Amino acid sequence: MIKNLIVGCGLSGIVLANRIANELNEAVLIIDSKNHIAGTCYDFKDENGITVHQYGPHIFRTNSKEIWDYLSQYTQWRPFMHNVLGIIDGIEVPIPFNLNSLYKAFPPKLAERLEIKLIDEFGYNKKVPILELRNTQDKELNFLAEYIYRKVFLGYTVKQWDATPEQLDASVTGSVPVSISRDDRYFQEKYQAIPKEGYTRMFENMLNHPLIECRLNASWQSVRETIQYERLFFTGAIDEFFDYRYGELPYRSLDIRFETLEMEKYQNAPVVNYPENYDFTRITEYKYFLNEKSDKTVLSYEYPEAFAAGRNERIYPILNEGTQSRYNQYLEEAKKLPHVVFLGRLGAYRYYDMNRTIAGAFETFEKLTYGRYK
């Protein structure tokens, strides 16, 4: 009988295993169907000495000193303020769209007039969701909103989600608002960084405990009838756990294609978005993240696609009213299993970043320590 079984050796599972072993002094078995730890945060150093993120770029950020201090026990950091550019009408424009973007996209006098109106309407250093900006009554601001919607949001969203912004939950469309400031950073959290030796090494350090056992290439389906446990923490897909009783929850996935070039640098930012052109959404250049030196550079191109079991990975839950209703049916089933806890992006069916994923694991651990899960 296993005291604590965790399905999924990604961010949620690793944080939870680490805290159970270190603070409760209890044994933990983690299983994962992949052949590596770290889930979609997995990275590795290639033959050119460049750290590549296998599942696309990951930049850690948080406002929580508790989370920052916790992870800092297992890694040193390279402070990193993320900047993203977008190709709009063939011009490089800062993303999220901000006041600097305004002056890149429009003639100076028009840009100045729009800047004044934006500040009068919403205030300075404010974040405005694009769908809110489109509701403005001012004709020039409405023109600007339609421009940003068409040039920045619509094409990218349709490629990424196979849906328009209006068809998605506000938590998705609001994740990249229009910024009424001259702050070109993609994120504004207090702590922003990348582990100096990579995410995988940080997670290896977190798993380095005699009470933690990790089995890779072991799917839940292959062990569910043979492993006995007191508590199960499930970070996989909740609909799969219940054998799709109420139908499949939809996900988007990515076909990520890598390319190595014989040059020191290819683009002017770590990530460049292509909302209007091509079938891919963005190009990432990895040597930027840890400032690694090489006479070559590694790029990845992201082609969004629908999730198909056995062909690709579940990456992004598709959040809308219909999928929430279906998830709620699974949630009601989950409540009937007091010794099973669902967490993480797939278990909670939420579009979580790394910070929110860790916070969710912390919340699960706190409930465990107060006897919620026995």
Cα–Cα distance measured from residue 219 to residue 363, given in angstroms and rounded to the nearest whole number: 25
My answer on whether 48 and 88 are in the same domain is no
Q: What is the pLDDT, as a whole number, of residue 172?
A: 80
My answer on whether 65 and 24 are in the same domain is yes
Q: What's the whole-number mean pLDDT along residues 149-173?
A: 90
Cα–Cα distance measured from residue 47 to residue 232, given in angstroms and rounded to the nearest whole number: 39
In a domain, 264, yes or no: no
Q: What's the whole-number mean pLDDT along residues 281-304?
A: 98
In a domain, 35, yes or no: yes
- Band (176; pLDDT cuts 50, 70, 90): confident
Q: In this model, does residue 372 exceed pLDDT 70?
A: no
Which residues of the chain form beta strands (DSSP E)? 2-7, 28-31, 43-45, 51-53, 60-62, 77-79, 84-88, 91-95, 126-128, 178-180, 191-195, 212-215, 229-234, 251-261, 271-273, 282-285, 297-306, 316-317, 340-342
- Band (63; pLDDT cuts 50, 70, 90): very high
Q: What is the pLDDT, as a whole number, of residue 173?
A: 66
Q: In this model, does residue 331 exceed pLDDT 80?
A: yes
What's the half-sphere exposure (Cβ side, CA atoms, 13 Å) at 362? 12
Final residue of a domain: which of 123, 145, 180?
A: 180
In a domain, 344, yes or no: yes
My answer on whether 176 and 200 are in the same domain is no
Q: What is the pLDDT, as a whole number, of residue 156?
A: 96
* Amino acid of residue 88: I
Residue 10: domain span: 2-80+195-249+319-369
My answer on whether 66 and 111 are in the same domain is no
User: What tokens appear for 70 in the block?
Assistant: 């916790």
Q: In this model, does residue 174 exceed pLDDT 80?
A: no
My answer on whether 49 and 175 are in the same domain is no
In a domain, 221, yes or no: yes
Mean pLDDT of the chain: 96
My answer on whether 127 and 239 are in the same domain is no
- Band (350; pLDDT cuts 50, 70, 90): very high
Helix (H) or strand (E) holding 336: none
* Amino acid of residue 258: F
- Band (169; pLDDT cuts 50, 70, 90): confident
Q: In this model, does residue 48 exceed pLDDT 80?
A: yes
Residue 270's SS3 state is coil
In a domain, 346, yes or no: yes
User: What tokens appear for 160 in the block?
Assistant: 């990424």
In a domain, 284, yes or no: no
Sheet holding 340-342, edge to edge: 212-215, 28-31, 2-7, 229-234, 340-342
Q: What's the whole-number mean pLDDT along residues 277-286?
A: 98
In a domain, 203, yes or no: yes
My answer on whether 206 and 324 are in the same domain is yes
Q: What's the whole-number mean pLDDT along residues 57-70?
A: 98
My answer on whether 146 and 8 are in the same domain is no
Final residue of a domain: which of 180, 212, 230?
A: 180
Q: What is the pLDDT, as a whole number, of residue 131?
A: 86
Final residue of a domain: which of 155, 180, 205?
A: 180
In a domain, 276, yes or no: no
Helix (H) or strand (E) holding 120: helix 108-122
User: CA angle at residue 217 from 214 to 223, to 5 degrees?
Assistant: 80
Cα–Cα distance measured from residue 206 to residue 358, given in angstroms and rounded to the nearest whole number: 13
Q: What's the whole-number mean pLDDT along residues 94-100?
A: 97
My answer on whether 149 and 200 are in the same domain is no
Question: For the domain that residue 364 is a member of, what is the CATH number?
Answer: 3.40.50.720
User: What tokens appear for 204 in the block?
Assistant: 């290896």
Q: What is the pLDDT, as a whole number, of residue 245?
A: 97
My answer on whether 112 and 25 are in the same domain is no
Into how many domains does the chain fold?
2
Instruction: Quote the pTM value.
Output: 0.95
Q: What's the whole-number mean pLDDT along residues 107-114?
A: 98
My answer on whether 239 and 329 are in the same domain is yes
My answer on whether 38 and 142 are in the same domain is no
As to burial, measured by CB atoms within 10 angstroms (0-12 exposed, 13-18 middle, 19+ buried), residue 321 is: exposed
Q: What's the whole-number mean pLDDT along residues 322-345?
A: 96
Contact between 168 and 320 (Cβ < 8 Å): yes
